[in-house]
Structure 1
Amino acid sequence: MNLTGRTVLVTGGTRGVGRALTRQLIGLGAHVVAVGRDPGHLADLTAEYGDRVSAEVVDLADPDAVDAFGDGLPARHPGLGVVINNAGVQNLGDFLTGDPRDTRQVLRRELAVNLDAVITLSTGLLPHLRDQPSAAIVNISSGLAVVPKASAPVYCAAKSAVRTFTRALRYQCEEAAPHIRVMDAVLPLVDTDMTAGRGRGKISPAEAARAVVDGIRRDRAEILVGKARLLPALMRIAPSVGYRALRHG
């Protein structure tokens, strides 16, 4: 897929992997619609890239806000052809300590960002994408969708659901709208604010974004990045090793 001249939606486009995706896509000549919750971070993007980026303030944890954003997006950006659902949040916690009522709303917001917003935007924008000559939906998941870790059950569950949803949606598009490519990008541990102080062997956001963009251009249904490329084989050959290795990741 040639990304030059395309309009690309990037959720979570102001920080981490999303910011790197925005930078690299603009470098390829794309126009990026960057979604973020913080107006200040979005203002920094527009100051840096001018009219090559369109800033959209959306709280992806608010289903009503996501509905309104997705419903109005095609009118504002009729050339939209690529959707990258990148935004994600991860909350660490031990469900056997404390009062679960204290974390209930936090966990629901985590699910809303990591799963509900992905499904809402992917399905809600399909009628528009179907009218484009070519299009792509790229959902960013994680190696933790394949092998979960103990400290973030809700994040792992949401990313696993994203992978399953993406594959099933790909099947539908292959049959009814083959010009819409549906891709799953599986990332390893990336050095972002979300992973600060945790883990070793991280890759940079720029490296992760480069692999995702390369996968889109090469029309890969599954984009396995860095160490995540090892997971499918490892889980076939020695799943106990994989579970043990990432349990406390």
Structure 2
Amino acid sequence: MKLTGTTVLVTGGARGIGREMTRQLVGLGAHVVAVGRAPGPLVALQAEYGDRVSAEVVDLSDPDAVDTFGDELPGRHPGLSVVINNAGVQNPSDFLTADPRASRPLLRRELAVNLDAVISLSTGLLPHLSSRSEAAIVNITSGLAIVPKPSAPVYCAAKSAVRTFTRSLRYQCEDGAPHIRVIDAVLPLVDTDMTRGRGRGKISAAQAAHAVIEGIRRDRTEIYVGKARLLPSLMRLSPSLGYRSLRHG
């Protein structure tokens, strides 16, 4: 897929992997609509890239705000042809020790950002994407959707749900709108603010962003990045070994 001259939506586009995607997409000649909740990083991003980036402050945990943004976006950016649902939050959770009432708002926000916003933007922007000659929806998931870890059950569940949603949506588009590619990008542990102090063997945000963008350009429907490439084979050969690999993660 040709990205030069396209308009690309990147949620979480001012931090971590999203910021690297923005930087690399701009380098390829794309215009990026970068979405974030905090104005500061978005202002800095626009100051760096000028009119090559449009900054949008949206709280992706607020369904009404997400719906309004999705409804209005095509009017502001009629050239939009690629949607990258990248934003994510992860809250370590121990349900045996946590206060359930105190935990619920965080868990619901986690589901809203990681799952509800992905579904809302993917489906809400489909009518516009259908009008383009070539389009793509790219949902960023995780190896944790395949092999979950005990410390982040809601994050793992949400990413697993996004994988299933992405595959089903791909089937619909293959049958009814084959010019829209629906892509699942499965990431390993990436060095970002979200993963600070967690795990070892991380790849950089720049490496993760590059792998995703290359997968889009090469028309991949599934993009397995770094160590995540091992997971399909591992889970075919020995699911029990795969699950044990993160049993204490």
TM bin, normalised by shorter chain, reads over 0.9
Corresponding position of 1:191: 191
User: Given residue 21 of structure 2, which amino acid in structure 1 is its aligned partner?
Assistant: L
How far did 1:98 drift? 2.9
Moved over 3 A (4+): none
Q: Aligned-pair distance for 1:67? A: 0.5
* Equivalent in the alignment of 2:232: 232
Spell out the pairing of 1:113-124 with structure 2 (5 A cutoff): 113-124=113-124
Q: CA RMSD in A?
A: 0.5
CA distance in 2, matches of 1:248, 1:138: 30
Residue 175 of structure 1 corresponds to 175
**Corresponding residue for residue 161 of structure 2:** 161
Aligned residue in 2 for 1:89: 89
Superposed CA deviations along residues 22-59 of structure 1, whole A, max 9, x for unmatched, are 00000000000000011111000001000000000000
Determine the C-alpha separation between the residues in 2 that align with 1:193 and 1:202: 12
Is the aligned partner of 1:220 residue 2:220?
yes
CA positional deviation for 1:247: 2.0
Establish whether residue 80 from structure 1 lines up as the match of residue 97 from structure 2: no
Return the letter of the residue paired with 1:129.
Answer: L
Task: Measure the CA separation in 1 of the matches of 2:83 and 2:43.
Answer: 21
Match of residue 17 from structure 1: 17
Instruction: Name the amino acid aligned to 2:61.
Output: A
Q: Residue deviations 1:40-90, cap 9 Å, x none?
A: 110000010000000000000000000000000000000000000000000
How many residues end up aligned between the 2 structures? Answer: 249
User: Which aligned pairs between 1:234-249 and structure 2 lie closer than 5 A?
Assistant: 234-249=234-249
CA offsets 1:66-118 (integer angstroms, 9 cap, x no match): 00000000000000000000000000010011320110011000000000000
1:246 Cα deviation (Å)? 1.4
Give the structure 1 partner of residue 146 of structure 2. Answer: 146
Q: CA–CA distance in 1 between the matches of 2:152 and 2:187?
A: 16
Shift of 1:239: 1.1
Aligned equivalents of 2:236, 2:45: Cα separation in 1: 43
Q: Which runs of 5+ in 1 are unaligned?
A: none
- Written as runs of structure 1 = structure 2, the 5 A alignment for 1:118-137 is 118-137=118-137
Q: 2:36 is matched with which residue? A: 36
Q: Which amino acid aligns with 2:209?
A: A
Structure 2: distance between partners of 1:122 and 1:246: 30
The range that moved more, 17-26 or 91-100, is 91-100
Matched AA of 2:189: L
Matched, 1:57 2:57: yes
The aligned amino acid for 2:212 is V
Task: Give per-residue Cα distances to partners, 1:156-183, cap 9 Å, x unaligned.
Answer: 0000000000000000000000000000
TM-score (structure 2 length as normaliser): 0.99
> Helix, strand or coil: the match of 1:34?
strand
Q: State how 1:101-116 maps to structure 2 within 5 Å.
A: 101-116=101-116
* SS of alignment partner, residue 248 of structure 1: coil
Secondary structure of the equivalent of 1:181? strand
Alpha-carbon separation, structure 2, partners of 1:17 and 1:246:
23
Question: Aligned-pair distance for 1:191?
Answer: 0.3
